[in-house]
């Protein structure tokens, strides 16, 4: 049950949207000053609406990071867009993220049209201002202004943190009076299995070739906290769509899978606060992105 505060307590839900690979998850992590969402240069890295809870003195912002809106080619893509649209209908404010390092294009216009027709306050941010000086950012700000009527337009760098605090204050100023939805010390409502699985998937995205990442899903099969020593045993399955992809993920002599596990274990230990023994296996779920039953089994 929501915890009621004084009439001056303010709270609300804020969605971070944009086309794929503009830095939405990096921005979410910058707001939280910790890793909540996985990041990758690969499109469609985010597949779930991730809630991150930022609580300040007299206010609480619940950020909702979403998959990038795009023209879907698979059933998974259609469901990801459904996640975004469902989220947008329920939030109090929206942050639209554009990429300063790339021209504003059709994908940006598509997302802008989607959010503007909702009537929700929208702050437009031009991210990645660290990639160049005013000569790079200024034209992008002008292009952003041409997309529609925004509550504010602000250049930021989610990577370096520049102007993130200013953006946060703009959002806090938009909040209406409301309850505290989550306890002070809660930073995300993601189920533990989902969070751990996403950290493993991030490492697989970092290491595999271009044709593989879209086909990767991770399921946590078992988590066992040892009673005789401070160690957590985790078994997880990495799913791909074809046998050739399975070979790539496993690698010669199991080298690729071992490296994925080594990198993932560091994040898992940080999240859990214990040593982790991670056992990974790879399975083929043929064309799972187009199979309703497989999508449901994998949590999409």
The pLDDT tens digits of the residues spanning 214-251 come to 778 889 999 998 888 889 999 999 998 888 899 999 99
**Domain match, 201 and 163 both:** no
pLDDT of residue 202: 83
Pick the last residue of a domain from 152, 177, 202: 177
Q: How far is CA 292 from the centre of its chain?
A: 23
φ/ψ (deg, to 5) at 67: -60, 155
| 3-state class (DSSP) for residue 74 | coil
Q: How confident is the model at residue 76 (pLDDT cuts 50, 70, 90)?
A: low
**Domain match, 46 and 86 both:** yes
**Percentage of residues of the chain with pLDDT beyond 90:** 42
Quote the CA–CA distance of 227 and 250 in Å, as a whole number.
31
Pick the last residue of a domain from 177, 200, 221: 177
Q: What's the whole-number average pLDDT of the chain?
A: 84
233 domain-assigned: yes
The pLDDT tens digits of the residues spanning 110-169 come to 889 988 988 899 999 999 998 877 888 889 999 999 999 999 999 999 999 999 999 999
**Domain match, 223 and 88 both:** no
pLDDT of residue 193: 84
Range of the domain at 159: 10-177
pTM attached to this predicted model: 0.66
**Domain match, 122 and 213 both:** no
| 3-state class (DSSP) for residue 8 | coil
Quote the CA–CA distance of 232 and 273 in Å, as a whole number.
9
Please report, for the domain that includes residue 72, its CATH number.
3.40.50.300
**Domain match, 118 and 93 both:** yes
**Domain match, 137 and 262 both:** no
User: 158 CB contacts (<8 Å, ≥6 apart)?
Assistant: 23, 26, 27, 29, 30, 127, 128, 164
**Domain match, 126 and 204 both:** no
pLDDT of residue 80: 67
Please report, for the domain that includes residue 279, its CATH number.
3.30.300.20
> Length of the chain, please?
300
pLDDT of residue 40: 47
Closest C-alpha among 25, 24, 48, 47 to residue 36? 25
List alpha helices for the chain, DSSP H: 24-32, 75-88, 106-116, 134-146, 164-174, 192-207, 243-250, 255-272, 292-297
Quote the CA–CA distance of 69 and 64 in Å, as a whole number.
14
pLDDT of residue 73: 63
Q: How confident is the model at residue 292 (pLDDT cuts 50, 70, 90)?
A: confident
**Domain match, 39 and 144 both:** yes
Q: How confident is the model at residue 90 (pLDDT cuts 50, 70, 90)?
A: confident
Q: Is the pLDDT of residue 45 over 60?
A: no
**Domain match, 164 and 52 both:** yes
Helix axes 255-272, 243-250, angle to 10 degrees: 70
pLDDT of residue 41: 47
What is the tally of structural domains in the chain?
2
Across residues 17-41, what is the average pLDDT? 77
Helix axes 192-207, 255-272, angle to 10 degrees: 140
**Domain match, 209 and 159 both:** no
pLDDT of residue 47: 46
Helix then strand then coil, % of the chain, to nearest 5: 40, 25, 35
186 domain-assigned: no
**Domain match, 173 and 234 both:** no
Beta carbons of 212 and 240 less than 8 angstroms apart: yes
pLDDT of residue 145: 93
**Domain match, 169 and 23 both:** yes
Helix axes 164-174, 24-32, angle to 10 degrees: 80
Strand order in the sheet with 231-240: 217-225, 231-240, 275-284
Q: Which two tokens stand for residue 143?
A: 């292009």
Q: Is the pLDDT of residue 97 over 60?
A: yes
């Amino acid at each position: 049950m929501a915890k009621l505060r004084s009439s001056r307590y303010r709270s609300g839900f804020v969605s971070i949207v944009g086309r794929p690979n503009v830095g939405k998850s990096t921005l979410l992590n910058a707001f939280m000053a910790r890793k909540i969402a996985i990041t990758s240069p690969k499109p469609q890295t985010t597949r779930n609406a991730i809630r991150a809870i930022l609580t300040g003195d007299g206010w609480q912002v619940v950020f909702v990071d979403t998959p990038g809106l795009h023209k879907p080619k698979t059933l998974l893509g259609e469901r990801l867009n459904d996640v975004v649209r469902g989220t947008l209908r329920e939030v109090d404010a929206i942050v639209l993220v554009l990429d300063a390092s790339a021209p504003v294009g059709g994908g940006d216009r598509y997302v802008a049209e989607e959010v503007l027709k909702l009537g929700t306050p929208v702050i437009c941010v031009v991210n990645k201002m660290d990639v160049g000086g005013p000569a790079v950012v200024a034209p992008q700000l002008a292009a952003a202004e041409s997309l529609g009527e925004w509550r504010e337009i602000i250049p930021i760098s989610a990577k370096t943190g520049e102007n993130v605090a200013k953006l946060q204050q703009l959002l806090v100023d938009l909040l209406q009076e409301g309850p505290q939805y989550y306890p002070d010390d809660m930073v995300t409502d993601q189920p533990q299995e989902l969070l751990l699985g996403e950290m493993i998937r991030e490492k697989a995205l970092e290491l595999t070739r271009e044709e593989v990442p879209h086909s990767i899903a991770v399921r946590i099969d078992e988590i066992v906290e040892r009673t005789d020593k401070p160690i957590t045993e985790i078994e997880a399955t990495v799913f791909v769509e074809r046998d050739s992809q399975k070979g790539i993920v496993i690698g010669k002599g199991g080298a690729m899978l071992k490296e994925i596990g080594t990198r993932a274990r560091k994040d898992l230990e940080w999240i859990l606060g214990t040593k982790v023994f991670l056992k990974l296996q790879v399975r083929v779920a043929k064309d799972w992105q187009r199979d309703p039953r497989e999508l449901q089994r994998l949590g999409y």
